[in-house]
Amino acid sequence: MAKGIIFLLACALMFQGMPIIKGGYPGAKAWAEEKEEARYLERRRAMVRTQISDPPGYRKPIRDENVLAAMLAVPRHLFVKPNDLSKAYGDFPLPIGHGQTISQPYVVALMTDLLEVTPEQRVLEVGTGSGYQAAILSSLVKEVYTVEIIRALGQQASARMRRLDYNNVHLKIADGYYGWQEHAPFDRIIVTAAATLVPPPLLRQLRPGGKMCIPVGGQYRVQHLTMVEKSEAGRITMKKILPVRFVPFIRAGE
């Protein structure tokens, strides 16, 4: 009897020292990470289906396969604050600090869809924020140039782009009102903060035949997501798409 107990104790002590008891067998971390990735992918699938491709009746469904594939591929949870991981795939914008937000998934998909991008294009984004919209565009076009006015957000987004290998996204910290002259003209321009008027430098930096998607309207007024088109002859036309609510366009020095 006593021998049996001693044997059991010895076994327990021996096993206690083994890695399996301490919780680390080879591949455990990778396995857990894979499982977590699969969980997030499942959430992205649900996001794309219920909010974007087959949304409630009051929304226009987005059908472009490339846009849907990009929305499915980009890990949105890596663009939100760590505290908001569980909300990353919800049907709403989320705060990213400095009074700014990462846009609602549907709005990102809709703006991307409206731009009708093609793989050889060069796109300017004004308002990098988290970098999520730039990451979505990254797989759909040749180069993305993105400008952010808040230094801390720009630095964070830049590090994130490098870490996640979005190598065709180029970022500048500056007032996006002036666009990015060195790389103009752009085939497409997307502005993700609401301006009271379309900044004239952006109109100039849009290539003839190009399109711009921009929320237009004051901070406390109705803003309209607006499509701006420049004809080959340089004529500008604007079309209101739908009422939206974006954070305001900031001007340097304000």
Name the active-site residue from 53, 86, 103, 139: 103
- The interface region with ligand SAH, picked from 32-40, 115-123, 171-179, 208-216 by CB under 6 A, is 171-179
Per DSSP, the three-state class of 59 is coil
Q: Is 130 a catalytic residue?
A: no
User: b or e along 185-223 (b: 16 or more beta carbons within 10 Å of the residue's beta carbon)?
Assistant: bbbbbbbbbbbeebbebbbebbbeebbbbbbbbeeeeeb
Query: Does 214 participate in binding ligand SAH (rule CB under 6 A)?
Result: no
DSSP E strand boundaries for the chain: 94-97, 100-102, 122-126, 143-148, 169-173, 186-191, 206-216, 223-230, 236-244
Per-residue binding letters, 97-136, with ligand SAH (x by CB under 6 A): ---xxxx----------------------xx-xx-xx---
Residue from 53, 192, 205, 223 that binds ligand SAH (CB under 6 A)?
192
Q: Give the whole-angstrom CA distance, residue 72 versus residue 75.
A: 8
Q: Output 121 or 132, the one with its CB closest to ligand SAH.
A: 132
Straight-line distance from the first to the last Cα atom of the chain, in angstroms, rounded to the nearest whole number: 83
Q: Report how far residue 124's alpha carbon sits from residue 146's, in angstroms, rounded to the nearest whole number.
A: 6
Nearer to ligand SAH by C-beta: 34 or 91?
91
Residue (12 or 152) nearer to ligand SAH, CB: 152
Phi, psi at 44, each rounded to 5°? -65, -40
Residues 10-39 that bind ligand SAH (CB under 6 A): none
Q: How far is the CB of 23 from ligand SAH (least distance, A)?
A: 37
- Main-chain phi, psi angles of 73, to 5 degrees: -85, -35
Using CB under 6 A, count the residues that bind ligand SAH.
24
Rule CB under 6 A: say whether 226 interacts with ligand SAH.
no
Query: Least distance to ligand SAH from the beta carbon of 149, Å?
Result: 4
- Chain-centroid distance of CA 223 in Å reads 21
CB of 224 to ligand SAH, least distance (A): 17
List interacting residues with ligand SAH (CB under 6 A): 100-103, 126-127, 129-130, 132-133, 147-150, 153, 175-177, 192-193, 247, 249-251
- Which positions are catalytic? 103
